[in-house]
Structure 1
Amino acid sequence: MEIPLLIVSLIFLFFSSALSSSVVTYLPGFQGSLPFYLETGYVEVDQDHGGEFFYYFIESENNPAEDPLLLWLTGGPRCSAFSGLVFEIGPLKFVTAEYNGSLPSLVYRLYSWTKVANIIFLDSPSGSGFSYWTKEEENDSSWVQQVDKFLVQWFVGHPQFISNPLYIAGDSYAGKIVPMVAKRILDGIDEGKEPLLNLQGYIIGNPATGGKVDKNSKISYAHSMGIISDDFFEMIQKSCSGQDYRTPTTSQCQMYLDSFNNCYAHTLAYYWANSNIVRRALNIRKGTIKEWVRCNRHLPYTIELKSNIKYHLSLLQRGYRALVYSGDHDLVVPFSGTKQWIKSLNSSIVEDWRSWHVGGQVAGYTMTYSNNLTFATVKGAGHTAAEYKPQECLAMFTRWISGATL
């Protein structure tokens, strides 16, 4: 019995040596101790090029031992997962006060998906956020491969979560990558690859597919929505004419003002993440990332796959669950195009197009299919829907993840 135990110990030491983590109880700009469990760390994903992925892990505020585990990927490609954490589904958000030279303030977000799920926010691919390596070129395949390596090593270091239901999630361009990652995990399960992960499905918001439907749907959608080529200020003026901007009385005015506030919060993130005291709090390795940027657009990235539809089919035909949601005011990836590729999967409709509600109000429209796919629109939301409608998106996610109807 001594030899097998020795081998197991050596395997664990090998993987754990490629993972380093720290518990963070305090963040600069946030008043008091964090009211949730936050862990940050690095996982080696490419030994030859010194590749390390940085992650933020937040335990569920409900029941971490049994609640689902989400791996959240942010689009771009090469946008930091910190965007998902503070702008979309995480338990922190910036106070959008005018920048005065001091460190931007953070507050607790009431409508965080961590209310019901454990979430890993992963800076990927390399060159995103605080993730780094010496090789700059990336593509769809390498991103998928590295995420798979990350998960294997992360679970070895966190064996208590191996039995939790696992969902791969993300939005925008990551919506193309998510099914590819899920399919790679499925292949590992079929091969008996250790550790065996408890994959249950995937979640994608305002997702790219890589197909021509993403672009072709924009023209008809813009026409149907009456979008014109005025600049942002003119849109606000037109929608909010004669109103007090502090208390908008129309939904259109509110949407544009929300969009304005979210863009300003993006700016605050640069000041916050590039502060030395913040980097020390997050345990960022010195000399790895000179300047944090929300989306690292200047590094080369090759878009390989024209369409990811075959990955959707592979997963859905095996019975895995899928939630696809779209802000209905998104011109980047219009929901009309998303509906089109979902229809191309040729699955029969279980529940036809109907409204879903939050607080007695219509929050969007939804339909479900026999292949375990649920599609939902989020009324009044733009690209990255949870940024615009956090309460509605939390209700949508909570109902779906528990197996209830929207």
Structure 2
Amino acid sequence: PGCSSIAFGAMEELGPFRVHSDGKTLYRNRYAWNLVANVLFLESPAGVGFSYTNTSSDFNSTGDKRTANDNVVFLLNWLERFPEYKNRDFYISGESYAGHYVPQLAHVILHLNKRANKTLINLKGFIIGNAVINEDTDNVGMYEYFTSHALISDQTFLDIHKYCYSDFYNEKKCNKAGAVSDSNTDNLDIYNIYFPLCHDDNLTKHPKFPSTLQFDPCSDNYIYAYLNRRDVQEALHANVTNISYDWEACSDPLFYNWKDSPLTIIPLLQESLANGVRVWIFSGDTDGRVPVTSSKRSIKAMELTVDKPWRSWLYGGEVGGYIETYKGGLTFATVRGAGHEVPSYQPARALSLISHFLSGTAPPGDA
């Protein structure tokens, strides 16, 4: 937890613009999600990105529950400010630790509507990508992915499984095996194991020729420069008090002082499904941090009945990924060739997927 939806979601994934290599100018994202929906990016919790609190001690008491409650207060106030959206269908999306944020926000909305005995927020569904869901299956799935993709040895995986996640738990041997795994993966971008690293973090005098379809591994640097421009901050009505330190994409104090984080979100997924909320989980298949194997293990732990079995889905005449649907309303989809930030690496496939999620239909397949 603790990273900016503006920096990542809006500026290098699914927003209408991306930042040129000069850190000053923008170019259009042809696969922005606002082509199919009205998109609201929420900097959450307070202290992340440009969001703030006037009580500094809040940074030492933030956790999952507080974040969900703060977010629903924001949404209610936003809908009062823009009442034309009150009766619109409302969907939530997020990635990574939003595997916690999103189902928790859905939970608060469901109970809010129930207590009010009316629909205050017209929640219809949510979609989470490469999502942190269930600690044990997330962790085992990560190491399973490492060994199945030749990043660690079979023996290292067996040692981790035996000494970290079985009845033979041994802290010393678990830590040793984990250290071996870390040393094997340290020189990779773990968020996309096949993607190059950024080797030159300098801005360019003139923008390089951009391509939305070819993600630039140094994009974080361009965004950092752009969002620290005073004219940009003024245009965004951000940093109105002219704080003396730089804007940062992620907040270490929030991360290290996080107060509550349940080991599993599965009960909240089940609650949403039981209340008729559409739930999709998607996974970029080259992410090593919360990989497809973790998502598959977490879904298996839910013990759902398969409705339509594993099959490919297509985009532009190519396999876009694979999909499986379950009775009760859950859909799981992979995105071929995408890392942790799916819309960064495969923007066209991501747009196709979100379009079908919103319409409640599976993307076209080969059968």
Q: TM-score range by the shorter chain?
A: 0.7 to 0.9
The one of 296, 299, 308 equivalent to 1:339 is 296
1:187 to 107, 111, 117: 111
Deviations 1:351-384 (A, max 9, x none): 1000001100001000111111111000111111
Cα separation, 1, equivalents of 2:354 and 2:74: 25
Cα RMSD for the two superposed structures: 2.2
Report the CA distance shift for 1:201/1:278 in structure 2 as closer, same or farther (over 3 A).
same
Which of residues 65, 78, 81 in structure 2 aligns to 1:154? 78
**Other-structure match for 1:26:** none
The residue number in structure 1 matching 2:178 is: none
Task: Name 2:87's counterpart in structure 1.
Answer: 163
Give the corresponding residue for 2:233.
279
Deviation at 1:159, TM superposition (A): 0.9
Superimposed CA distance per residue, residues 263-295 of structure 1 (whole angstroms, 9 cap, x where no aligned partner):
x11111111111111111111242265421111
Deviation, 1:85, is 0.5
Instruction: Tell me the percent identity.
Output: 32
Is the contact made by 1:82 and 1:121 (CA closer than 8 Å) also made in structure 2? no
Report the alpha carbon displacement of residue 342 of structure 1 after superposing the two structures with TM: 1.2
Change (3 A) 1:338 1:195: same
Give secondary structure in 1 for the equivalent of 2:246: coil
Secondary structure of the 1:286 match is: coil
Q: 1 CA distance for matches of 2:80 and 2:106?
A: 18
Mapped pair 1:122 → 2:42: yes
Number of corresponding residues: 305
Q: Quick check: 2:138–2:297 contact (8 Å CA) kept in 1? A: no
CA deviation after TM superposition for structure 1 residue 79, in Å: 3.0
- Scaled by the length of structure 2, what TM-score is found? 0.78
**Counterpart contact for 1:208–1:214, Cα < 8 Å:** yes
Secondary structure of 1:180's aligned partner:
helix
Aligned counterpart for 2:250 among listed residues 292, 295, 303: 295
Matches within 5 A, 1:29-68: none
How has the CA–CA distance of structure 1 residues 360 and 127 changed in structure 2, closer, same or farther, with 3 Å as cutoff?
same
TM-superposition CA deviations, 1:300-352 (whole Å, max 9, x none): 22243111111001010111101110001111101111111112222211110
Contact residue 134 and residue 298 of structure 2 kept, 8 A: no
Whole-angstrom CA distance in 1 between matches of 2:258 and 2:64:
8
Q: How far does the alpha carbon of each residue in 1:59-81 deviate from its partner, in whole angstroms, 9 at most, with x for none?
A: xxxxxxxxxxxxxxxxx334343
- Please report the TM-score for the alignment, with normalisation by the length of structure 1: 0.71
Q: Deviations over 1:128-157 (max 9, x none)?
A: 111111221211111111001111111111
Q: Quick one: which amino acid aligns to residue 122 of structure 1? A: L
1:381 aligns with 2:317: no
| Pairwise CA distance, 1:86 | 1.3
Which ranges of structure 1 fall in alignment gaps of 5 or more residues? 1-75, 241-256
Aligned match for 1:209, one of 130, 133, 156: 133
How many angstroms does 1:400 deviate by? 2.0
Task: Decide which of 28, 35, 38 is 1:108's aligned counterpart.
Answer: 28
Partner AA of 2:247 in structure 1 = W
1:200 deviates by 0.4
The equivalent of 1:136 in structure 2 is 59
Q: State the partner residue of 2:280.
A: 323
- Equivalent position amino acid for 1:128 in 2: V
Q: What residue number does 1:66 align with?
A: none
1:84 CA displacement: 0.2
> Could you say what secondary structure the match of 1:110 adopts?
coil
1:234-288 residue CA offsets vs partner (Å, 9 max, x unmatched): xx9x999xxxxxxxxxxxxxxxx956x23x1111111111111111111124226
Q: Distance in 2 between matches of 1:349 and 1:288?
A: 54
Structure 2: runs of 5 or more not aligned:
153-183, 197-212
CA–CA separation in structure 1 for the residues paired with 2:293 and 2:242: 42
Of 86, 93, 105 in structure 1, the residue corresponding to residue 18 of structure 2 is 93
1:222-233 matches, cutoff 5 A: 222-227=146-151, 229=184, 231-232=187-188
Question: Which residue in 1 is equivalent to 2:8?
Answer: 83
Q: Which amino acid aligns with 2:311?
A: R
Q: Any conservation in 2 of the 1:78–1:297 contact (CA below 8 Å)?
A: no
- The aligned counterpart of 1:266 is 220
Q: Name the one with the larger strand percent.
A: 1
Contact 2:59 2:253 (C-alpha < 8 Å) held by counterparts = no
Q: Compute the displacement of 1:232 (Å).
A: 4.4
Which amino acid letter does the alignment assign opposite residue 294 of structure 1? A
More helix, by proportion: 2
Q: CA deviation at 1:198?
A: 0.9
